[in-house]
């Protein structure tokens, strides 16, 4: 996956306020509906985006911070790629406790990444010292996207 | 949004509608549970039949509600799980924590006297 090959169809930049989680999810689901993505896949991607954006606001930038969250949606063939970026310092996803383990089940938080992993095919964190944290979420759709040609060709 | 509460055979039934998500219905659920517990309720049933969406924050509030009620010696159960809520509870393994019932009659009877 070359970072430079990702050319978003949709770019959103939101303030780090919790009410924007809903707006971001709705905007992306609307874009997916325009691409004729099936309802159940729209729901799954929307649910994952909601968790990604909420984490970026709460744990990345901090609620009410003046740092923005960036959300990009791209398609490559029949794969939907979403990138959520914040200015947070990052963390080690491998060190997070598994919320499914018996001793963690009654914790009030810590389920967002699990939900993202469940609803998407792949999620990948990248951490950059200057620009912060990028989360890339990928899902291959059951049915090819309307106009689902490689994005590089589409840019001509 | 205030979550409606009613009472039947000593059971407090909370009926959230729509979304229980970050910044939307999660705080309302917390307030409704605390209000019921503060009023002395020990048998609390949350009817999720009209809930359209739940996210990790909403799930977190359900867990917090369970802990709050249990710590005060009460019981909290769930009723009428829509498939999407059921899926999330399955993914998070919380189906092993919550007592989930399909009908109100069955749920009320399960609390006992």
Mean model confidence pLDDT for chain B: 94
Say what the pLDDT of residue B1 is: 72
Q: Which residues contact B30 (CB under 8 A, 6 or more apart)?
A: B61, B64, B65
pLDDT digits 0-9 by tens, B6-29? 999 999 999 999 999 998 888 899
pLDDT recorded at residue B69: 97
- Show the tokens assigned to A87: 């200015």
Bridge partner residues of A134 (DSSP): A85, A126
CA distance A126 to chain B (A): 22
| β A10-14/A69-76 pair status | antiparallel
Tens-digit pLDDT profile for residues A116-127? 999 999 999 999
Q: State the pLDDT at residue A2.
A: 44
Distance CA A94, CA B83 (A): 30
Q: ipTM of this model? A: 0.90
pLDDT tens profile B51-88: 999 999 999 999 999 999 999 999 999 999 999 999 99
Tell me the C-alpha distance between B30 and A57, whole Å.
21
Among B17, B9, B19, residue whose Cα is nearest residue B42: B9
Strand partners, B6: B13
DSSP assignment of B26-55 equals: HHHHHHHHHHHHHTT--EEEEE-TEEEEE-
Q: Which residue of A has its CA nearest to B97?
A: A105
Residue A44 contacts B where some CB pair is shorter than 8 Å: no
**Span between the terminal Cα atoms of chain B, in Å:** 32
SS in 3 state form for A76-128? ECCEEEEEEEECCCCCCHHHCCCCCCHHHCCCCCCCHHHHHHHHCCEEEEEEE
What pLDDT shows up at residue A130? 85
**Per-residue model confidence as pLDDT tens digits over A41-89:** 999 999 999 999 999 999 999 999 999 999 999 998 889 999 999 999 8
Residue A14: how many other CB atoms lie within 10 Å: 18
Average pLDDT, chain A: 89
A106: which chain B residues are within 8 Å (Cβ-Cβ)?
63, 66-67, 97
| Chain B nearest CA to A109, separation (Å) | 6
Give the position of tokens 């909370």: B14
* pLDDT at residue A149, rounded to an integer: 45
């Amino acid at each position: 996956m070359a970072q430079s090959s990702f050319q978003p169809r949709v770019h959103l930049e939101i303030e780090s306020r919790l009410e924007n989680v809903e707006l971001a999810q709705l905007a992306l689901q609307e874009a997916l509906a325009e691409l004729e993505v099936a309802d159940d896949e729209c729901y799954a991607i929307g649910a994952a985006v909601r968790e990604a954006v909420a984490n970026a606001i709460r744990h990345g930038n901090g609620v009410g911070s003046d740092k923005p969250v960036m959300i990009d949606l791209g398609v490559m063939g029949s794969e939907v790629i979403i990138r959520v970026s914040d200015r947070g310092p990052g963390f080690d996803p491998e060190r997070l406790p598994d919320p499914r383990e018996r001793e963690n089940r009654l914790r009030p938080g810590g389920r967002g990444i699990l939900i993202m992993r469940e609803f998407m095919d792949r999620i990948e964190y990248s951490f950059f010292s200057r620009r912060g944290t990028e989360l890339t979420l990928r899902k291959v759709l059951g049915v090819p996207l309307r106009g689902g040609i490689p994005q590089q060709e589409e840019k001509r | 949004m205030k979550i409606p509460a009613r009472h039947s055979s000593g059971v407090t039934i909370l009926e959230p509608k729509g979304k229980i998500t970050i910044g939307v219905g999660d705080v309302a659920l917390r307030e409704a549970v605390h209000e019921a517990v503060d009023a002395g309720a020990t048998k609390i049933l949350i009817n999720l039949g009209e809930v359209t969406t739940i996210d990790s924050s909403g799930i977190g509030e359900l867990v917090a509600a369970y802990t709050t009620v249990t710590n005060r010696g009460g019981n909290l159960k769930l009723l009428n799980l829509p498939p999407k809520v059921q899926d999330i509870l399955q993914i998070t393994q919380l189906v092993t924590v919550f007592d989930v019932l399909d009908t109100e009659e069955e749920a009320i009877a399960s609390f006992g006297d």
